[in-house]
Amino acid sequence: MKLIIHGGFFSESDQSHEVKTAKQNSLKEIAAKSFDFLKNHSAEETVVYAVSLLEDDALFNAGTGSQIQSDGKIRMSASLMNGQNQKFSGVINIENVKNPIEVAQILMKEDDRVLGGNGAKIYASENGFEDFSTEIPQRRKEYEEKLKNGGKGTVGCVALDQYGKLAAATSTGGKGFEIVGRISDSATVAGNYGNQHCAVSCTGVGEDIVSNATAAKIVTRVTDGMSIKDAFQRTFLELKEIDGFAGAIAIDQNGNIFHQDSHPTMVFASYDGEQFEIFE
């Protein structure tokens, strides 16, 4: 069993020692809780659990603490990929729900498994998800300053369960002040993808990740026999050609964990039941 999570990149306002320490401590705690959960649950269930904990933590830009778009509203996206059965589900630009990843999880049972905008919200309401504002005062202050004067962040988890099955989940609160209707990579196979050989979750600039098809490329290359390290290096070289900004976490079928970023520092933590690795 293996597990790795990420909490996006540091923003310019996150560089203080206090914020860094808080994120390290939070990621370590969430990784430990999620690994304990993994002992008795599937990879799919675990990545949803881990990402929901990340969504609930206002330190990260997903769920509570999501960025505010140019019209003053928060719209979030999240997706779930089951590597075993190759099912993908997601919500795009959903508003006023506490945990978008949990809506994506419910969508796994549907034929129509990716919903956007108002349709996603209606579906969530019909399935018992109550209205919930994910805005925090810090985000409103940042938004007001942008208005007066004129971020990057996502969370994710990849898990390998005791049966050798892989899953990946990714959730984002957007980049902040984006054009209404903008779609991130997080609810696409460019940002969140997996199969029986490898699973990947990305963070960074969504447009760059989509242009590079980052997660799908890494998984395909591992499937075709490339090592996870070589698959990352090849894909990130191609990302560099477009001056792309991204980071990714992954686990392959053999339990090898890998992570890489194009612009330090992606915040992440991995745990295998014995040893933690946490960003520095």
Edge-to-edge strand ranges of the sheet holding 192-194: 192-194, 198-204, 246-252, 257-261
Q: Where are the alpha helices (DSSP H) in the chain?
A: 17-38, 43-56, 100-107, 117-126, 137-148, 206-212, 214-223, 228-241
Q: What percent of the chain has pLDDT over 70?
A: 96
CATH number of 2-278: 3.50.50.60, 2.60.40.420, 1.20.1290.10, 3.60.20.30?
3.60.20.30
Q: What is the pLDDT at residue 150?
A: 46
Query: What does pTM read for this prediction?
Result: 0.95
Select from 41, 34, 30 the least CA-distant residue to 7.
30
The 3-state DSSP class for residue 2 equals strand
Q: What percent of the chain has pLDDT over 90?
A: 88
146-175 pLDDT, tens per residue?
Answer: 665 544 579 999 999 999 999 999 999 998
Answer for the pair 33, 53: CB distance below 8 angstroms, yes or no: yes
225-255 pLDDT, tens per residue?
Answer: 999 999 999 999 999 999 999 999 999 999 9
Long-range contacts of 224-227 (CB under 8 A, 24+ apart): 227/256
User: Of 154, 170, 188, 235, which is the active-site residue?
Assistant: 154
Structure tokens at 204: 């960074």
Q: Is 154 a catalytic residue?
A: yes
Mean residue pLDDT of the chain comes to 94
Q: How far apart are CA 49 and CA 38, in angstroms?
A: 9
Q: What is the pLDDT at residue 151?
A: 47
Answer for the pair 177, 146: CB distance below 8 angstroms, yes or no: yes
User: Residue ranges per domain, the chain?
Assistant: 2-278
Answer for the pair 86, 108: CB distance below 8 angstroms, yes or no: no
What average pLDDT does the segment 42-63 reach? 97
- Sign, CA torsion 136/138/139/145: positive
